[in-house]
Amino acid sequence: MVKTLVQIASVGSGVAVLACLFTVGYIFNDINSFYDDVIDTMTEFKVRRVLTESLRSSETPSNCDLVDS
């Protein structure tokens, strides 16, 4: 009787450990995917910011242009 309970508890704990390992792997993969998405978005944001700043600086008249007119 006691031996059977120990075997059942051992199998149950083994299944729980495997489930935890699977869950940790899944969470790790999910966090890495999120990180990659954020890095891609930030890179795109930086490129757009640089392009916008360069366009604004080329469209804004300089002080010399304002004085000459």
At position 4, the amino acid (one-letter code) is T
The residue to which tokens 């891609």 are assigned: 40
Q: How far apart are CA 15 and CA 9, in angstroms?
A: 10
> Measured on CA atoms in the order 22, 28, 31, 37, is the torsion positive or negative?
negative
Domain boundaries, the chain: 1-54
Q: How far apart are CA 40 and CA 43, in angstroms?
A: 5
User: How many other C-beta atoms are found inside a 10 Å radius of the C-beta of residue 48?
Assistant: 10
pTM of the prediction?
0.58
Predicted confidence (pLDDT) per residue in 9-49, tens digit:
999 999 999 999 999 999 999 999 999 999 988 887 777 77
